[in-house]
Amino acid sequence: MSDARESVELLRKETAFQGYFKVVRYFFRHSLHKGGTSDIISREVFERGQAGAVLLYDPGRDEVVLIRQFRAGAYVAGHHPFTWELVAGIIEEGETAEDMVRREVGEEAGLTVGDVLPIQNVMLTPGACSEACQVFVGRIDAANAGGVFGLASEGEDILVKVLSFADAYAMVERNEVDNAVGVIGLQWLALHREELRKRWR
């Protein structure tokens, strides 16, 4: 629920860093909850584009497909450096989120996805990053899924694993799926699985 009295004025911005990723320094003033306006505040924002992700689900076999790959951020944070995730990627110019996840499913998992339904559009780290992720659930045939995929040109080495829904959800409960998008997708499926299996039978 938003409040019409909440407002932000962007005064200026400047590029603070440009490398593999980009950091932009913004200068704002915003409304205050008790009335009036804030002083000028400066915030650096990590900008890497907008993302999409898809939980791959086979309703007949009641199986999901997860991927596992090295993640520098997880390593630096002291988590296990290889993470269980949903297929995901950055949306390219002229592409919709659904177009992107369909492309990435082929590149990262060697699969073709059928029906795709949106789950949630979430900000991942709103205090520091402009990235939002549109999360989907996608229908697949998991009978022949598995292996190692990814684009060598992008340094990708992606393990593809088929798991029963029960086993995948148990990984969430043991904190073995420790990234927000993976947890969101599997929690959503836990809540809507029976309904989805009827819809996709």
Residues 58 and 13 in one domain: no
Question: Is residue 2 a part of any domain in this protein?
Answer: no
156 shares a domain with 59: yes
DSSP notation for 146-177: -EEE--GGGT--EEEEEEEHHHHHHHHHTT-S
Tens digit of each residue's pLDDT (9 = 90 or more) over 64-97: 999 999 999 999 999 999 999 999 999 999 999 9
- 170 and 87, same structural domain? yes
Asked whether residue 96 falls in the same domain as residue 190, the answer is: yes
Q: Which domain holds residue 24?
A: 8-47
Catalytic residue positions, numbered: 154
Q: What is the pLDDT of residue 2?
A: 67
Residue-wise pLDDT tens for the chain (201 aa)? Answer: 667 789 999 999 999 999 988 999 999 999 999 999 999 999 999 998 899 999 999 999 999 999 999 999 999 999 999 999 999 999 999 999 999 999 999 999 999 999 999 999 999 999 999 999 999 999 999 999 999 998 888 778 999 999 999 999 999 999 999 999 999 999 999 999 999 999 998
Tokens, residue 138: 């996608």
pLDDT of residue 21: 87
Same domain for 115 and 19:
no
Task: Please state, as a whole number, how many other Cβ atoms lie within 10 Å of the Cβ of residue 101.
Answer: 28
Q: What pLDDT sits at residue 85? A: 97
Same domain flag for 41 and 133: no
Residue 201 is predicted with a pLDDT of 86
Total structural domains in the chain? 2
Query: Given phi > 0 = left and psi -120 to 50 = alpha, else beta, which region is 110?
Result: left
